Structure 1
């Protein structure tokens, strides 16, 4: 790579409150992974440096990985890999810049 909730309750008998609570718990328990210290990592629209940069992560950022896919091989502070992490819809960063503690996938494969 080249540099690269509010909680509310509601008294409802239709199950709405339960749905809000479940969604909030799921969002609160999402694992976040740190980006390599000292790097402002580029976020791209696809799994490779040929995809446009859509934004850059600030120093000290953490990311939630929704899914992962294979793409271009990248060497970074956490090794060489072709795994790319989806950090938002249509936004990817190379796993070589994210400390997941694994050389393999830590999230489901992207569709």
Structure 2
């Protein structure tokens, strides 16, 4: 039963594309004042676990103060992720 549940959960995982032609900075928190953790390559897709308010950024998908948590201690500006919305699409972090 657990194996079936895990398979169902993984099938529902949604990945969102990063803006075309962009190498996206990944920060340790929701803002440009946080340390750079790594850089996502062009063509990357991310899973959003939760979202937090932070530094306001203007990018290909508008101006936003929403930051997407893509892994433990890893955040990217939502202005660079094509979610299809200019609002929150995942629970708030914390």
Q: TM-score range, shorter-chain basis? A: over 0.9
| Counterpart-to-counterpart distance in 1, 2:6 and 2:70 | 18
Q: Greater relative contact order: 1 or 2 (C-alpha under 8 angstroms, separation 6 or more)?
A: 2
- The structure richer in strand per residue is 2
Distance of 1:89 and 1:107 partners within structure 2 = 15
- TM value normalised by structure 1: 0.82
Q: Compute the RMSD of aligned alpha carbons.
A: 0.8
Gaps of 5+ in 2: none
Deviation beyond 4 Å, 4+ runs, structure 1: none
The count of aligned residue pairs is 94
1:25 aligns with 2:44: no
* Rg comparison, structure with higher value: 1
Q: What TM-score, normalized by structure 2, do the two folds share?
A: 0.96
**5+ residue gaps, structure 1:** 1-17
